[in-house]
Amino acid sequence: DEVCYENMGCFTDDRPWAGTAERPVARLPWSPERIAARYLLYTPQNKEDFQQISTDKDVIASSNYNPSFKTRFILHGFIDKGDEHWLSNMCKLMLSVEDVNCICVDWKKGSQTLYTQAASNIRVLGAEIAYMISIFKDHFNQGPENVHVIGHSLGAHCAAEVGRRTPGLSRITALDPAEPYFQGCPELVRLDPSDAKFVDVIHSDALPFLPYLGFGMSQAVGHIDFYPNGGDHMPGCDKNIISTIVDLDGIWEGTRDFVACNHLRSYKYYSDSIQNPEGFVGYPCNDNKMFQNGQCFPCPNSDCPLMGHYADTFKLPSGGQKLKFFLNTGDARPFDRYRYKVTVTIDGSRTVTGYMKVALYGSQSNTRQYEVHSGFLKPGKTYDVFIDTDNDVGDIIYVKFIWNNNMINPLLPKFGATKILVTRGHDRRDLVSRGSHVTSNVLKNIVLPPCSHSEAKS
Amino acid sequence: APSEKGIIINLDNGNLCVLSAQCKSSCCHRRSATSLARCAPKSAETHKCSAKVRSLYGSYYFCPCEDGLKCDTDWSIGGSITNTNFGVCVDPNAPKSSAA
C-alpha cells in the first residue's frame, strides 16, 4: 500500500522498498510531523548557538542563512540524535576554515525507533530536505550545485534520497553508509553515484552485519570510496572494555564507542580532516593487503585524493566511479598520518640479532622512532618498511638511525646505515642519505644531510 | 592480527593502567594528578619527558625518552620523590650546532 504527504509526494512499500530478500519487513514511513526533524543552522554570524529554521521561506529569510555561502547539511544515523555534539562540532570546525551555512538535521524522533522503521523514515526526511533545497533555489537563488549533504550511517542513504530528488546536487559525503536493508539493494533504494555530481564515501565498519555486527557497507557505492585501515577494524577500537567505556571524552562517548567504535570513526576522521587536510591521503589500490605490504605506493603522479572534507578537490577521471582508496589513520585524535617508505642498507662487523629504528627530521619538527626491522641484522643487507608518522615534518633534512640488541656486546660490534632512502607517499619526494659508518649498539648515528634530493629513483 | 590484548599486562597504547610495567611501551601516562592514566608511547626528541626511573613504578606526567635520547631535566628539589622533574628529550651525540 501507499502513503502521501504534502510537498513530499507518495511512498509505497511495494518492491523493491520491501518484500525482497534484503528488505523482508515492509514499513511505511512516518509523516514529517511525527519525525519532527529540526534544522539547526550555524553560520559565520552564529558559530556557537544554532538558529532553528524550517521549510518555511519566511523563517529562512529571517535567519542568518546567506545564499552566497555554500550550504552543507549534516545528518546523523540510527538511534543517534541531532544535538549530539559531533554534528555541531563538525559545523564549528567547518566555520573555522570557510564561510558556510552549516545545517545539523536532528531527526531523533524518527531514528530512535525500530531499525526497519527508521530505514523507512529516511525517505520522508530526504524528501523534506529536497523540498528545503528547492526553497533555497526558488526563493533565494541558491542552486543545488552549491549544496552538499553529509550523512552518517542511515543518514548517508537519506542523503541519497535527497540527491535522487534534487538533480544537480553538488556532493554527497557518506560516512559509513548503513549496510542492513541497503547493501545489495537496487540503486533506487540505496546510495549510488547517480545521486549527486560527486559522491565520496568513508567505510570504517565494513565487516558483514551477520555475524560480525559490522554496521557499515563494504560495497563501493560512490565515485570514490575510502577504506581507512582496510575499512574493518579501526585502530584504537580494540582497547579492552574498561578503557573503552571510561573514555577521554567521558562515559557517554565511551558507551557509544563500546557499542559502535568502528562505525563512529568515520565522522571523527571527517571532522579531523577539516583542519588537517594533508593527513588523510588515499592511495589507489585493489585491496588492503596489497596496500599494507606497499604495492600501491607512492601516489601515481602525485595525484591522490584526500579523504574527508577536501575529497572534492580530486580531479575525477571522466566516468570514474567506485574507485577504491586505502590509507592508515591514527588510533586516537588527531587521526591524521603521513606515509613514507624507508629503505635502509646496513653494514657492520658481523651479523647480530636486534632491532633498528629510524626517525625523520625536518626543518621544524621530527618524527618518533619507527622500527625498520627486528631480528637478524646482516651487514650489506637492505631492509625496507612503510611508516605512517603522526606529524608532517615537511621536507626531510636528515634521518637518524639507531640499532640495539639489548645485550652487552663485549666485542663492541660496529654497525651503521650505509644508505637510507626515504620516499614520501603523496608526492614521491625521494631523499637519499649516506650514512656514516661507525656506531655502537645504543648510541645514535646521525646520518649526514642528503647529498641530493632525488638522486636515486628506486 | 593484534597481538594478545591484556587487561592487566602487555597493554597497547590507550588502555588504562596503573603501573608503567603494564604497558608495552613501558610508559603509563597521566595528564594531571586527578586524571586516569593510560599507556602512551615514549617521548620523541624535542618532546617533554620525565627522567627515567629505573623501577617502572607508577605513572608519569611525561613519558621517558625513546632509545638513545636523554631527558635533559632541570632538577627540581622534590624531583625524584614526586616524579615532577621534567625536561626535554635531547640526543646526547648531536653536535651542538646541528641540534639547534
Higher pLDDT, B84 or A41: A41
pLDDT value at position A385?
94
Q: In the structure grid, which three cell numbers stand for residue A320, read together?
A: 570514474
Please check the confidence at residue A442 and state whether its pLDDT lies above 90: no
ipTM: 0.82
Q: What's the mean per-residue pLDDT of chain A? A: 89
- Kindly state whether A333 is in contact with chain B, defined as any CB-CB distance less than 8 angstroms: no
Rounded to 5°, the CA angle A94-A99-A102 comes to 55
pLDDT value at position A416?
76
Q: In the structure grid, which three cell numbers stand for residue A410, read together?
A: 663485549
Q: CA A379 to CA A155: how far, in whole Å?
A: 56
**A126 phi and psi, to 5 degrees?**
-65, -40
Least confident of A47-61, A141-155, A209-223: A209-223
Average pLDDT of A228-254?
88
Catalytic positions of A are: 153, 176, 263
A282-303: pLDDT as tens digits: 999 999 999 999 999 999 988 9
pLDDT value at position A420?
84
A 171-200 residues with CB below 8 A of B? none
A443 with B93: Cβ contact below 8 A: yes
Do A190 and A22 touch, CB atoms closer than 8 A? no
pLDDT value at position A354?
84
Which residues in chain A are closer than 8 Å to B69, comparing Cβ atoms? 444
- Kindly state whether A422 is in contact with chain B, defined as any CB-CB distance less than 8 angstroms: no
Nearest to A404 among B14, B15, B67 (CB): B67
Which residues in chain B are closer than 8 Å to A238, comparing Cβ atoms? 2, 5, 12
pLDDT value at position B83?
52
Do B84 and B73 touch, CB atoms closer than 8 A? no
Residue to mutate among B23, B67, B98, with most A CBs inside 10 A, is B67
B12 with A238: Cβ contact below 8 A: yes
- Kindly state whether A242 is in contact with chain B, defined as any CB-CB distance less than 8 angstroms: yes
Q: CA B2 to CA A423: how far, in whole Å?
A: 27
B38 with A243: Cβ contact below 8 A: yes
pLDDT value at position B97?
44
pLDDT value at position B82?
54
Least confident of A143-152, A159-168, A246-255: A246-255
Rounded to 5°, the CA angle B26-B29-B33 comes to 145
Tally C-beta pairs within 8 A across A and B: 62
pLDDT value at position A438?
36
Which residues in chain A are closer than 8 Å to B7, comparing Cβ atoms? 240, 242
Q: How far is B82 from chain A (nearest CA, A)?
A: 24
Average pLDDT of A448-456?
38
Average pLDDT of A116-134?
96
Q: How far is A442 from chain B (nearest CA, A)?
A: 6
Please check the confidence at residue A389 and state whether its pLDDT lies above 50: yes
> pLDDT category, A408, cuts 50, 70, 90?
low
pLDDT value at position A213?
86
**A151 phi and psi, to 5 degrees?**
-130, 135
Which residues in chain A are closer than 8 Å to B37, comparing Cβ atoms? none
Q: CA A222 to CA A171: how far, in whole Å?
A: 10
A246 with B2: Cβ contact below 8 A: no
Which residues in chain A are closer than 8 Å to B15, comparing Cβ atoms? 239-240, 243
The residues of chain B scoring below 50 in pLDDT are 1-3, 78, 97-100
Nearest to B13 among A242, A331, A444 (CB): A331
Which residues in chain A are closer than 8 Å to B63, comparing Cβ atoms? none
A366 with B46: Cβ contact below 8 A: yes
Cα A386 to its chain centre, rounded Å, is: 20
> pLDDT category, A427, cuts 50, 70, 90?
confident
Strands (E), A192-249: 198-202, 224-228
Average pLDDT of A179-204?
95
- Closest residue in B to A361 (Cα) is B45
pLDDT value at position A328?
97
Q: Residue A120 is which amino acid? A: S
Location of C-alpha cell 525500530? A114
Q: How far is A48 from chain B (nearest CA, A)?
A: 28
pLDDT value at position A160?
97
Which residues in chain B are closer than 8 Å to A357, comparing Cβ atoms? 66-67
Q: CA A422 to CA A429: how far, in whole Å?
A: 8
pTM: predicted TM-score of the whole model, two decimal places: 0.90
- Kindly state whether A301 is in contact with chain B, defined as any CB-CB distance less than 8 angstroms: no
Q: What 3-state class would DSSP assign to A241?
A: helix
Which positions in chain B have a beta carbon within 8 angstroms of at least one beta carbon in chain A? 2, 5-7, 11-16, 36, 38, 41, 44-46, 66-69, 91-95, 98
Higher pLDDT, A177 or A448: A177
B5 with A240: Cβ contact below 8 A: yes
Q: CA A191 to CA A24: how far, in whole Å?
A: 19
A366 with B44: Cβ contact below 8 A: yes
